Structure 1
Amino acid sequence: MEIRYATNPAATKAFDTEQLRNEYLIEGLFIPGELKLVYSHVDRIITGGVIPTSQAIALEADRKEMGAEFFLARREIGIINVGPRGSVVVDGEEFVMETKDCLYIGLGKREVLFKSEDSANPARFYLNSTPAHKEYPTAKAAISEAEPNHLGSITNSNERTIYKYIHEQGIKSCQLVMGMTLLKPGNMWNTMPCHTHNRRSEVYFYFDMPEDGVVFHLMGEPTETRHVVVRNEQAIISPSWSIHSGVGTSNYTFIWGMAGENQEFADMDPVTMKELR
């Protein structure tokens, strides 16, 4: 498990490109036959990816870093399959996961196994995990069951569909909020006009991008913005004080996962366009 420590805005505005990438960008999330985890001290969110091939892969705690007997001893987790069909087995109960389906697993579940239906064309499970204080039931939400929210316009290059999975009116959790945004062809901007939310942090995971495509992800305080070049199947950590927006070389999809004290989706601090620098 890789560890990332929290940073502050005063230090971040002096970072060069390499430092920005080392602190906030998560690369190499998907390795065939392995589970990759990054533990951030920003709201103690864990971000990960797993590709099960010929054998199931277990979600196991790093006892040294987590101080727990099993991964969900004090945590909850949201999982979205961004690859072909697979399944997640939770204490013996199997949940089949099609592409873009979401599964929430609550506090206290001891055994979580990731499986692919076809080892030659394996599933790709992306996950966010946050600390939890109460057990909520395991629940699956297929993308076909999620209520789409259509926003934006082609005029502003941000026509998109938002799918909320884990939130106050959807799958219940302690603090994790998780969903997915799909930009329509010909649209490149996400989360602009932008915002911050001092009560929670966020992680963006970009995917469904061509091999030579990139997103110029904007971060930093509104008056001290920086950019990080993000490629397909990479994630970026956004502290509560930072904006989180981006523009791509083509349309793309991204998963957003939030951690913190407030689960209300609309709780944000808007930033006007004239404030940005």
Structure 2
Amino acid sequence: MSQVETRYAIDPQSAKSFDTQALRDNFHVDGLFVPGELKLVYTHYDRLILGSAVPKDEDIELDHVAETGTDNILERREMGVLNIGEPGTISVGGESYDIGAGEVLYIGRGAGPVTFSAPGRYYILSAPAHHAYPTKLIKIEDARRVELGDAETANERVIIQFLHPEVCESCQLLMGYTQFAPGSVWNTMPAHHHDRRMEAYLYFDLSEEQRVFHFMGKPEETRHIVVANEEAIISPPWSIHSGAGTGAYTFCWAMAGDNVDFTDMDMVPMEALK
């Protein structure tokens, strides 16, 4: 069973008038990772698709998605898949890839249908692509690690980069995840934005009681969305994206847009935030 939802782009002037429910309806994604289901959200922000596949009694195949206007979802797209569950198997282009927890599979344009096998819990990201790069399984030890922050400011964390020019070639999709040390909860403060690229977040490794307060909006018009475990946020290019949790957590970040320069960001001074 598959479900596809479309989310349209929202301008900052409209967004600043939204109440809590309108913010959630447009930028928050819940209901992912349902056993036996494939769920996709097609966004109008750089045409990024995000979603999940949780095979149960039988494999789940991802092939035709009407929203892309092509016979196969990967006909003019690339894809990144993160497994946040037990080790599983993904088959694509006649090859099978055993993917462990925390590993990422990059799938190049034109690779064909993708089949997800149990018992993995697969987070899916896809963006339009102009070139076909090879499909590649990226293990944790092969990813690029950047350690930042410290315990005193409650932001000691490691950024693990998978779809990054130094690790795996892609057209426009950047992808990885950030893990917090125990006692640290703050991500990216001072905040930043990059009007050249949108971003999406999946928050996971939270307990049932934990929440993350995701901050968004223009710097002078900030808003927040409360996020639970395995829920996602669609972050517009014009918006800051920062978060603080009630405990340590992990989040998968992904970007699509004009470039693949991870450091291309516009910092926001603390005094500008309101």
Pairwise same-fold verdict (TM > 0.5): yes
CA distance in 1, matches of 2:165, 2:142: 16
Alignment of 1:9-158 (within 5 A): 9-63=12-66, 65-116=67-118, 122-158=119-155
Give the CA deviation at 1:237.
Answer: 0.5
CA distance in 1, matches of 2:85, 2:190: 31
* 1:146-182 deviation per Cα after TM superposition (whole angstroms, max 9, x unaligned): 2321110111100001111001111101100001100
> Quick one: which amino acid aligns to residue 2 of structure 1?
E
CA distance in 2, matches of 1:170, 1:260: 19
Give the CA deviation at 1:245.
Answer: 0.4
- 2:173 maps to what in 1? 176
- 1:238 maps to what in 2? 235
1:7 matched to 2:4? The reply is no
> Quick one: which amino acid aligns to residue 251 of structure 2?
F
SS in structure 2 at match of 1:144: helix
* 1:18-46 deviation per Cα after TM superposition (whole angstroms, max 9, x unaligned): 00000000101111011000000011100
Deviating beyond 3 angstroms after TM superposition, the runs of 4 or more aligned structure 1 residues are none
SS in structure 1 at match of 2:21: helix
SS in structure 2 at match of 1:19: helix
SS in structure 2 at match of 1:155: helix
Identity of aligned residues (%): 50
SS in structure 1 at match of 2:152: coil
Q: Does the 8 A contact of 2:145 with 2:159 survive in 1?
A: yes
Alignment of 1:170-209 (within 5 A): 170-209=167-206
TM-score (norm 1): 0.96
SS in structure 1 at match of 2:141: coil
The gaps in structure 2 that reach 5 residues or longer are none
SS in structure 2 at match of 1:72: coil
SS in structure 2 at match of 1:226: strand
Give the CA deviation at 1:249.
Answer: 0.5
CA distance in 1, matches of 2:124, 2:190: 27
Give the CA deviation at 1:101.
Answer: 0.2
- 1:119 maps to what in 2? none
CA distance in 2, matches of 1:111, 1:67: 15
CA distance in 1, matches of 2:123, 2:69: 23
CA distance in 1, matches of 2:70, 2:173: 19
> Quick one: which amino acid aligns to residue 74 of structure 1?
R
TM-score (norm 2): 0.97
> Quick one: which amino acid aligns to residue 199 of structure 1?
R
SS in structure 2 at match of 1:192: coil
> Quick one: which amino acid aligns to residue 43 of structure 2?
S
SS in structure 1 at match of 2:140: coil
Q: Does the 8 A contact of 2:144 with 2:166 survive in 1?
A: no
> Quick one: which amino acid aligns to residue 188 of structure 2?
T
CA distance in 2, matches of 1:259, 1:103: 17
Pick one of 253, 258, 270 that aligns with 1:273.
270
- 1:166 maps to what in 2? 163
